[in-house]
């Protein structure tokens, strides 16, 4: 089994004061990386840094909301000032403003797009500039979501941002390949403050926090576990063991890791001279429309009582 050693590398993890982001920061530090922890709450950020130090890692805090170019520069500059370099960026920061389409305000939409999509763009741009200047490659690890892969009811803004993040990972993997910078999107599924609000999950999460393990139908069947279960993917993608992995969307949760497919044509039909609306209506049911694709995140398959 290859050794995952990130000694001498420096990482920035946005939104890493708690939850999945904190798990990513701990995992990177446990494998030798020095970490810039980021959060909008100073007390939360400092507590995260303390927990990493107590576990034997090295970290500093940078308190700033991501989204602007100025915030991105602050994060990259802090890594360089403290650790002399930047090798890994994990764009985890995010917020939710869930509403159905006809109730979602411009402010709801803009806030989520700014944090998730523009925040990923500005931070990745600043990191890419620094990594290209260093000339030693690097790793951009963008955080996606099943909502961005399949859509999710009430999450127009969030699903759009996460779908855009997956597209940016594919695009940047091509643009940064010559510089030796890998770019991947991860698709985590874990027990967090968001998922514990789902009534069907709540009793299992509560039992887990009481010391009981999650059942196999969740850990294996649903790929659902703790934030720490998702964290292993981050140091792997940041390591030399993953130098050949780029432009991918990789899901992880519980006991499961999976590769998401990229969108591609699955059926095609042809008409000499092009199509008319009537010809499309005639051919559709038995050609390209014979098996339409599903949408939405599949409901968990809970065992019968």
Residue 301 is predicted with a pLDDT of 80
What is residue 204's predicted lDDT score, i.e. its pLDDT?
A: 87
Is 145 labeled as catalytic in the residue annotation? Answer: yes
| β-sheet bridge partners, residue 58 | 34
Q: Global pTM?
A: 0.95
List pLDDT tens digits, range 164-182: 999 999 999 999 999 999 9
Q: What's the helix, strand, coil split of the chain in %, to 5?
A: 45, 15, 40
Question: Look-up: residue for tokens 């519980």?
Answer: 254
Choosing from 34, 139, 145, 173, the catalytic residue is 145
Domains detected in the chain = 10-190+226-259 (3.40.50.720)
* Backbone dihedral angles phi then psi of residue 62, each to the nearest 5 degrees: -130, 110
- Distance from CA of residue 131 to its chain's centroid? 20
What pLDDT, on a 0 to 100 scale, did the predictor assign at position 298?
Answer: 87
> How many Å apart are CA 216 and CA 14, to the nearest integer?
31
Predicted local confidence at residue 192, as pLDDT: 78
The answer to whether residues 124 and 172 touch, using CB atoms and an 8 Å cutoff, is yes
Q: Considering the candidates 16, 34, 139, 158, report the single residue annotated as catalytic.
A: 158
φ and ψ at residue 86, rounded to 5 degrees: -140, 125
Asked if 24 is an active-site residue, the reply is no
* Known catalytic membership, residue 162: yes
How far apart, in Å, do the first and last CA atoms of the chain sit?
Answer: 41
Strand order in the sheet with 181-188: 58-63, 34-39, 10-13, 88-91, 138-143, 181-188, 249-253, 256-259
Catalytic residue among 162, 173, 204, 239: 162
Low-confidence ranges of the chain (pLDDT < 70): 193-194, 197, 305
């Amino acid at each position: 089994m290859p050794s995952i050693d990130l000694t001498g590398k420096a990482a920035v993890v946005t939104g890493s004061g708690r939850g999945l982001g904190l798990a990513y920061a701990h995992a990177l530090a446990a494998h030798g990386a020095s970490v810039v922890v980021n959060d909008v709450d100073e007390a939360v950020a400092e507590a995260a840094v303390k927990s990493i130090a107590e576990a034997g890692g090295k970290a500093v805090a940078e308190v700033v909301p991501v989204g602007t170019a100025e915030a991105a520069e602050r994060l990259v500059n802090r890594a360089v000032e403290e650790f002399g370099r930047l090798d890994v960026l994990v764009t985890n920061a995010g917020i939710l403003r869930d509403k159905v389409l006809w109730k979602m305000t411009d402010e709801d939409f803009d806030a989520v797009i700014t944090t998730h999509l523009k925040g990923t763009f500005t931070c990745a741009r600043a990191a890419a500039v620094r990594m290209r200047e260093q000339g030693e490659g690097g790793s951009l690890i963008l955080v996606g979501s099943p909502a961005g892969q399949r859509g999710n009811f009430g999450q127009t803004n969030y699903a759009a941002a996460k779908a855009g993040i997956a597209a940016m990972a594919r695009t940047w993997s091509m643009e940064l390949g010559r510089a030796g910078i890998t770019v991947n999107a991860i698709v985590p599924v874990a027990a967090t403050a968001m998922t514990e609000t789902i009534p069907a999950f709540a009793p299992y999460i509560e039992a887990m926090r009481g010391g009981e393990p999650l059942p196999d139908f969740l850990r294996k069947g649903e790929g659902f576990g703790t934030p720490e279960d998702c964290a292993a993917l981050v140091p792997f993608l940041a390591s030399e063991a993953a130098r050949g992995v780029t432009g991918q969307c990789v899901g992880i949760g519980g006991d499961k890791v999976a590769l998401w497919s990229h969108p591609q044509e699955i059926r095609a039909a042809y008409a000499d001279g092009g199509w008319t609306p009537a010809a499309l209506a005639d051919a559709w049911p038995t050609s390209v429309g014979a098996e339409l694709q599903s949408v939405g995140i599949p409901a968990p398959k809970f065992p019968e009582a």
